[in-house]
Structure 1
Amino acid sequence: MISARARILLLLLVVMTAALAAVAGTTRSILLRDLEHRVDRLLAQETREFASLYERGVDPETSRPFTDPERLLTVFLERQYADPDEELLGLVRQRDGPKQLVQPRDLTMSQPLENDGAGRRAIFESGDRTGSLDRPSGEVRWAKVGIGAKEEPDAAAFVVAIHTEREREQVSDVFVIMLMISAMALVVVCAIGWAVAGRILAPVRLVGQTAAQLTEQDLTRRIPVRGRADRDETAALAATFNAMLDRLERAFAAQREFVDDAGHELRTPITIVRGHLELMGEDPAEREETLRLVTDELDRMTRIVEDLLLLAKAERPDFVEPEPVQLAELTADVFVKARTLGERDWELSEVAEGEMRLDPQRVTQAMVQLAQNAVQHTAPGGRIRIGSRTAEGHVELYVADSGPGIPPQDADLIFERFRRGTARRGSRGGGAGLGLAIVKAIAEGHRGHVELSPTEGGGATFTLILQEGL
């Protein structure tokens, strides 16, 4: 299996190779095209100059128009100077082949037409005015202007020939140099790409190493975040992974605490049941009392299990099923149900108007739980107020009692599972300490929270703050 670093480098090499090859090939094509255009311009220029002399020129010796093709060619060639890769020839038809007239000069090409009788003959006898010769030494581009009278229109010809092999070799040399430079560039790109890919993938490797070293007993390792997570993808990856580890650590800690507390809470009623059953005698009254105590403990275990299942369901997305609810009707229903919990001075203090998307069953369950807690902390005849009000973007439902209130050190503790506060520790009849944890879960399921504040005149006020827009 190829590593991600190698795949990145391979892809970079493929792209760079294709790009450099395209650049080199395009450059070679442009240079060859420019060479062709320059040769065409030179051929056209030379033939136009000769045609002008042929049509309008005069012999410098006689001051009359040229009548002899050989004299015309001689005069013209004496006045010209050919470029290094250019040949200017005058050809006159004879029985044994065209007679050649050339300007005497040093030739630089490897195989000039001056020494190539077959090539001269092919050009002279060609019916075309321009063309090319492909020879082992290279291509020769030529153009000619025929000279003659009506009875013999091609008695002679002026020929300009350009040898392109040297310039084509220069183009090939440039192409080879570009390929060599491209090869060196690829080597440099490979080295840089390997280092850059390693640096980019370093956080990913660190994530893998950290994940491999994590255990349920040690979730404390974190990845260093270098850079801003909102601008750097690798920093964002490290920050996201660290946030996931934070959640996992909290979840495992909560799970361990949950298991410990649940085991402790369930162990107590089981011990009580076993002890009473082991000590139960033959007396019918004693049996009846034992059965009553056992039944009471079993009912308490059943309530603990049901509450645990409810809290476990709070982690699911369908824990809250919102629907449009009339707040006034919901508040009135909660008040009617709460009044049956005990003989207290119940008061419906205020009622919110309007509609909001809530889960009416979960909200009612939370409010009834808060009312039950208020009943447990107030004496018969004590005052308990229930109400609701709307604020910007949320609704508040509250239960206020006139009991002893909540000590400040217990304000956060009471919402944790199996925690009942310092004032009620050791009280077996007060429940397992899951009620307020359920209320908190219901509030958070509505993207809200629970607030605890002192009641004016004494007591505690619990307020459900639920957000709109579910």
Structure 2
Amino acid sequence: MAIILTMRSVLINDVESAANRAVTQEIDEFATFAAEGVDPRTGRPFSSVDDLLELYLSRQHPDEGEAIIGLGEGTPLYSDNTRLSTPDGVQYQLAHDAATLQQIVDDPASTGVLETEHGPLRWGKLQINTGTGEPGHFVVAEFVTNSMDSVDQLIRMTVVVALGGLLLTAGISYVAAGRILAPVRQVGRAASSISESDLSVRVPVRTRDDLGELAQSFNNMLDRIEGAYNAQRRFVDDASHELRTPITVIRGHLELLSEDPGERATTLAIVDRELGRMSRIVTDLLMLAKAERPDFLIKEETDLAEMMLSIDSTVQALDDRPWLLMEVAEGRAEVDAQRLTQVMLQYATNAVQYSPAGAPVRFGSTVVRGDDGEGHLLRLWLADSGPGISEEDMPRVFERFNRADASTAHAHGVGLGLSIVRAIADAHDGRAWVESAFGQGSTFGVDVPIDLRDTESAAPAAESTSPHRAALRGLRTGEDR
């Protein structure tokens, strides 16, 4: 609106300025003609004011809205192009409006503006004196009503066009904004439809622009939230399921607790055993819950041979049986040595539980090529001579609380050890695996991607003083460990 008003003000000012210039120009041209004072028809001075005015006005062609009038001794002479009409439809000519002309002649100023029924009249006058009679007057008048009407019509048209353009722009913007913001609304609908029990809603991603990336980021966030929620729910379900049995056993024995010292001792032993079992369950469940945190692993550059020989010395204390270290990977890589040691100890513990007493256990480590032929994998493995795993149990070996059929001797334990193994392997971006045939023993292992470095970068002093290195040299040369 401010622009329209400013535009109208500028146009009106231009109309008024143009009218003033036209009046001034006509006055100056007549003054120049009158100053010569010679009739070009006769070559002599004009004999009267009327002759001067008649000759000059016969040569004039006034602009639209302009009237040029000569007032001499007789009837006014004029050249009029005002094209104005009175309210009753009669053509209006300023030369016939004696009252207005007299008002202009009587005004002491040479220029001015009169308000008439036909609108503002801008005028200029010049007194004429030829010295041969009464002086006359030359009057130039400009009606700007028609020009003002044209300005108003232009402003109205501009307003209509502007409003039409504004409405069209608003409509296009509304449609465009609707299409642009559609993914945002979909994100909002997806967010409002998410409930505590259903986190499966996802936003469809149809574009690759910024909004498509927003929708994909929102879906990724929902994936993480759903994973965390499912992990929490599994933890609660698993804990409640596994803790229910020992709690029931403890409660039952305490309710029937006898005053007899022998029976009390037996009952307290059972209670202590079940409490220990509950403690192990809770510890393992917390371990699995922590496995999904980013700080679960603490990777450090590790000498793979040192790590394997340390595992060898640790498993020797688990049971009095032959522990046969078959191969040792060499090199350096960034891994979590403690977690990988935990993997091998879990495998070794299972081997002790499920293998015949005194049966040898073979284990080792090696570096192999990745499945894609590029990169390296650190493979840790352990083979027992237990009863093996049936074909139907193989897919569920690393699941939580999985216990094979009692006939396989895998019926004791809570079924969390191998789940922890798989969690450690997953955290290393690797995999846990098993190879087994029912009744022929099992081989368990993990494959972990590594960026292998040569052991030559290690200090020579450490090579010579480490007892594990000495054992490795003995293993290479066939010495008795």
Tell me the TM-score normalized by structure 1.
0.67
Match of 1:462 among 443, 446, 453: 446
Contact preservation (8 Å) 2:67, 2:79 = no
How far does residue 173 in structure 1 lie from its aligned partner after superposition? 2.5
Q: How does 1:24-423 map to 2 (within 5 A)?
A: 24-25=4-5, 28=8, 31-32=11-12, 35-36=15-16, 38-39=18-19, 42-43=22-23, 46-47=26-27, 49-50=29-30, 53-54=33-34, 58-64=38-44, 71-90=51-70, 101-103=76-78, 105=80, 107-109=82-84, 114=95, 115=97, 116-117=100-101, 119-121=103-105, 125-126=108-109, 132-133=113-114, 137-142=118-123, 158-180=138-160, 182-183=162-163, 214-218=194-198, 225=204, 228-231=206-209, 233=211, 252-274=229-251, 290-316=267-293, 319-320=295-296, 325-328=300-303, 332-333=306-307, 335-337=309-311, 339-341=313-315, 342=318, 344-346=323-325, 349-353=328-332, 356=334, 363-378=336-351, 380-386=359-365, 396-403=377-384, 413-419=396-402
Contact preservation (8 Å) 2:311, 2:344 = no
- Residues 382-419 of structure 1 show CA distances to partners (whole Å, capped at 9, x for unaligned) of 22224678999988544212237877866764444333
Aligned mates of 1:406, 1:429 — CA distance in 2: 14
Contact preservation (8 Å) 1:89, 1:159 = yes
How far does residue 345 in structure 1 lie from its aligned partner after superposition? 2.2
1:338 to 1:28, Cα distance in 2 relative to 1, 3 A: farther
Aligned mates of 2:236, 2:420 — CA distance in 1: 17
1:57 to 1:466, Cα distance in 2 relative to 1, 3 A: farther
Aligned mates of 1:426, 1:144 — CA distance in 2: 129
Paired residues in the alignment total 421
Contact preservation (8 Å) 1:402, 1:458 = yes
1:245 to 1:77, Cα distance in 2 relative to 1, 3 A: same
Aligned to 1:427: 410
Contact preservation (8 Å) 2:80, 2:93 = no
User: What SS does the aligned partner of 2:345 have?
Assistant: helix
User: What SS does the aligned partner of 1:61 have?
Assistant: coil
1:107 to 1:165, Cα distance in 2 relative to 1, 3 A: closer
User: What SS does the aligned partner of 1:267 have?
Assistant: helix
Contact preservation (8 Å) 1:334, 1:364 = no
How far does residue 85 in structure 1 lie from its aligned partner after superposition? 0.5
Letter in 2 for 1:465: P
Aligned to 2:464: none
Contact preservation (8 Å) 1:335, 1:348 = no
How far does residue 371 in structure 1 lie from its aligned partner after superposition? 0.4
User: What SS does the aligned partner of 1:82 have?
Assistant: coil
Contact preservation (8 Å) 1:216, 1:252 = no
User: What SS does the aligned partner of 1:230 have?
Assistant: coil
Uncovered stretches (5+) of structure 2, i.e. residues with no partner: 86-91, 453-481
Aligned to 2:467: none
Letter in 2 for 1:332: E
Letter in 2 for 1:302: S
How far does residue 302 in structure 1 lie from its aligned partner after superposition? 0.9
After superposition, the CA RMSD in angstroms is 4.9
Aligned to 2:433: 452
1:25 to 1:282, Cα distance in 2 relative to 1, 3 A: same
Aligned mates of 1:43, 1:193 — CA distance in 2: 50
Aligned mates of 1:91, 1:327 — CA distance in 2: 119
Letter in 1 for 2:400: R
How far does residue 255 in structure 1 lie from its aligned partner after superposition? 4.3
1:136 to 1:413, Cα distance in 2 relative to 1, 3 A: farther
How far does residue 258 in structure 1 lie from its aligned partner after superposition? 3.6
1:449 to 1:175, Cα distance in 2 relative to 1, 3 A: farther
User: What SS does the aligned partner of 1:125 have?
Assistant: coil
Aligned mates of 2:324, 2:378 — CA distance in 1: 18
User: What SS does the aligned partner of 2:310 have?
Assistant: helix
Aligned mates of 1:321, 1:48 — CA distance in 2: 100
How far does residue 84 in structure 1 lie from its aligned partner after superposition? 3.2
User: What SS does the aligned partner of 1:350 have?
Assistant: coil
Uncovered stretches (5+) of structure 1, i.e. residues with no partner: 1-20
How far does residue 80 in structure 1 lie from its aligned partner after superposition? 0.9
Aligned to 1:7: none
Contact preservation (8 Å) 2:64, 2:83 = yes
Aligned mates of 2:196, 2:423 — CA distance in 1: 25
